[in-house]
Amino acid sequence: MIRLQKVMADRGVASRRAAEEMISEGRVRVNGDLITTLGTRVPEDAHIELDGRLIAAPAGHRYVLLNKPVGIVSTAQDEHGRRTVVDHIGARERLYPVGRLDTDSEGLLLLTNDGTWAERVLHPRYGHEREYDAWVEGDLTDEAVARLQRGIPLEEGIARAVRVSVRSRSRGRSRLSMVLLTGWKRQVRRMCIAVGLKVTRLVRVRMGPLELGKLRPGEFRDLTKREIEAMTAPTPQPKPQVREDTAPAIAPRVPRRASVGPSAPRVRRPQGRREFVPQVRTTRAPRGIVSKRTTTTTGNARGVAPRVTRRAAVSRARVEGPRRQWSGERAVQGGRPTRERDARAAAGPAARMAPARPPQWRRSTRAAAARAAPRRGRGARE
């Protein structure tokens, strides 16, 4: 079942819009019944009368390829009385153009009376390319060609050429080939104007698998059965290209290869204790007193190896004070057991500021005092 206005248009009575007006006016009967409701569906071979006259059954579908010349309007009827492509062909069938070409453009144009086929040809899902040869005036630079491929913003959207190739290039006039997927109004001309080029001649040379071939301007031919089927076959879409800056896939982690020979057992150190490293410290006698250098190995008061730090020397100097002190008081050393390297630090912080003096210094001082005592006595008796 098909809508009545479509059946009337297929039989060549009028366009669908004009057929709808005839139905609303009550001028159409189907199998003797008056039809005034739009969208009524009828069989394709229904008996249809218009104003009491029988409308003949539609003839077979026809598909025509025309090389449209300049100056002919690509429409079925023109309000201004200009010559149309239908008048140029002069067919008995009611043909109408599939798509359009500007009046000042020329090249390949399809005509048919099969509405379903025409709709499928123009549908973007089938992705039929439209190739044009354009003669332009202006400076055709590489940047202009790149902009045509990147896209030009128009009222309908971004107009982008699939491919652009330069056929010839001169200082003022050039010829290029453009492939588009859309057929917007004066699309090629507007795109060229956006990049500073003026189109002087425009010819459509291909539409999908159909090529203009050797047809001269004004000539036409019927399509073959293979060409008709090729125009309705879906065009395979190109696969998306992988960007070069895409991050590479991460390789799986490979476990470490085990050693072949026997390995030594792993020694674990106890937590909280570190290996004892003895430190050698040399003590010098004061100037003028002969004494041997004594070497001691230090540790803390608990007998545990002290923790080695980088600030050990600074901390010792801050706690012990100067190394050489000549006071006669008893030397008492203080310090923190955890930071000092000598057992004398066990005296604690109370004696931190007391002068420190080695034991051999004390013995030398007593001997000097004993030798000096008689001299003071003789001087006093004299």
Residue 88 sits at the vertex; the CA angle it makes with 84 and 92, to the nearest 5 degrees, is 105
Q: Does residue 51 have an active-site annotation?
A: no
Closest CA to 363 of 310, 295, 292, 307: 292
User: Which of 33, 45, 87, 102 is flagged as catalytic?
Assistant: 102
Residue 114 sits at the vertex; the CA angle it makes with 61 and 116, to the nearest 5 degrees, is 140
Amino acid at 127: G
DSSP letter string over 86-112?
HHHHT-SS--EEES---TT-EEEEEEE
Query: Tokens 């991050």, residue?
Result: 247
What gap in Å lies between CA 63 and CA 111, rounded to an integer? 6
What gap in Å lies between CA 168 and CA 201, rounded to an integer? 14
53 phi and psi, to 5 degrees? Answer: -110, 140
Long-range contacts from 312-319, C-beta under 8 angstroms, 24+ separation:
312/339, 312/341, 315/339, 315/340, 316/340, 316/341, 319/345, 319/352
Dihedral sign (CA 37, 40, 42, 44): positive
Alpha-carbon distances of 55 from 1, 23, 37, 51, 355, rounded to whole Å: 18, 14, 19, 10, 134
Catalytic residues: 102
